[in-house]
Amino acid sequence: MAQQARRAPGRPKKPQETVVEQPKQEAPAVATKSVKKRPVIKRKEKMTTTVEYEIPKGAGVVYMLPQKGVTVYDENKDTVREIRYCPNEPSIYVDEQSDNAIKESVAFREGRLFVPKTKPNLKEFLDNHPLNMKNNGTTFKQVDKKMDAEVKMNQEFKITEAVTMVRDKDINELLPVAMFFNVNINSPVSEIRFNLLRIAKSKPQDFIDSFDSPQVQARSIIQQSADYQIIGMKEDQCFWFDSKSMIVSVPAGQDAMDVMVRYCLTEKGAPVLSSLEERLERLA
């Protein structure tokens, strides 16, 4: 009888597994917020072709600009020449006008005169007239609205800056400035800020400059030193309060505080200012 073959002992082989690839999942689309572009605003600055002149004060209803015997200095010819306005003449100089030149009056109505670009000789006459303020005259001037707007805008910006300083700066930074502008620093803080606010609005540039002014800081130190009787001030001298020795003499008719401030800002008076500052710090 044939023997049946035996299988070798051991662990049976694992059946091979078939790997099934899973379909890749796409990342969910992120909703993006559409940003709508603002339309470009096109602008075209309007260039005026009419020049305006004005009489700032005392014009009345009608003001006739003098033309008789009006002379100006001509730099090109280095001589004094007479000018007048004749509409039909190409020149404003009398010596270049024809014998039949007809003069025409130049009238400001309600203090204003508008000159179109079709009258260049009238504009030249007004620009050269000795009563024009740009020629050191006192009667009329050309109106520059663009320049006026820039000046007013810059002034408003200065006021805004000064007002912001009153609001945002610490009271200790404001006190020297308050003393410089003769504001009572012993009043409530709100009252000090209010008084400084009025000064900032009326004199914005002076107010802004005062924070970096050595005179302001020196005056503050000297005033406090006088209040604490570290120094004394009389009409004729400033002196040390304890020893009565003179610091600086005050000339007749001058303010003792102003003299002391000027002295302390000199090389000779700098040690005095440093000494006053040290004494005040010890008292704080």
What number is the average pLDDT over the span 173-187? 91
The answer to whether the beta carbons of residues 240 and 247 sit under 8 Å apart is yes
* Two tokens, residue 256: 């003792």
Spatial CA neighbour of 211 closest among 181, 186, 182: 181
| Tens-digit pLDDT profile for residues 88-126 | 999 999 999 998 899 999 999 999 999 999 999 999 999
Residues 6+ apart with CB under 8 A from 276: 221, 222, 225, 230, 231, 264
Q: Report the range of poorest mean pLDDT among 44-48, 65-69, 213-217, 274-278.
A: 44-48
Vertex 33, ends 27 and 34: CA angle to 5°? 120
For the segment 261-282, the average pLDDT, to the nearest whole number, is 93
The pLDDT of residue 146 is: 80
19-69 confidence digits (pLDDT tens): 556 666 666 666 566 667 788 887 776 666 789 999 998 888 999 998 888
The closest of 152, 199, 150 to 178, measured between CA atoms, is: 199
User: Is the pLDDT score of 213 beyond 60?
Assistant: yes
Mean pLDDT of 189-217: 94
Could you give phi then psi for residue 74, rounded to 5 degrees?
A: -100, 110
| Distance set, CA 13 to CA 6, 9, 10, 17, 257 (Å) | 16, 12, 9, 12, 111
Reported as a single tens digit per residue, the pLDDT across 198-209 is: 999 999 999 999
Edge-to-edge strands, sheet with 141-142: 62-64, 107-109, 112-115, 51-54, 141-142
Q: What is the DSSP letter of 184?
A: -
The answer to whether 137 and 129 are in contact (CB under 8 A) is: yes
Of 206, 223, 235, nearest to 261 (Cα)? 223
DSSP single-letter state for residue 67 = -
Amino acid at 5: A
pLDDT: is 22 or 194 the higher one?
194
Consecutive H or E run containing 190? helix 189-202
Range from 31-40, 205-214, 239-248, 267-276 carrying the lowest mean pLDDT: 31-40
d(CA 48, CA 177): 46
Task: Report the C-alpha dihedral over residues 143, 146, 148, 149, rounded to 10 degrees.
Answer: 150
Per-residue pLDDT, averaged over 58-84, amounts to: 90
pLDDT at 144 over 90: no
What is the structure's pLDDT at 1?
46
* DSSP string of 225-273, one letter each residue: HHHTTSEEE-SSEEEETTT--EEEE--TTS-HHHHHHHHHTSTTTHHHH
Q: What is the pTM of this model?
A: 0.56
Which has the minimum average pLDDT: 71-80, 143-152, 215-224, 225-234? 143-152
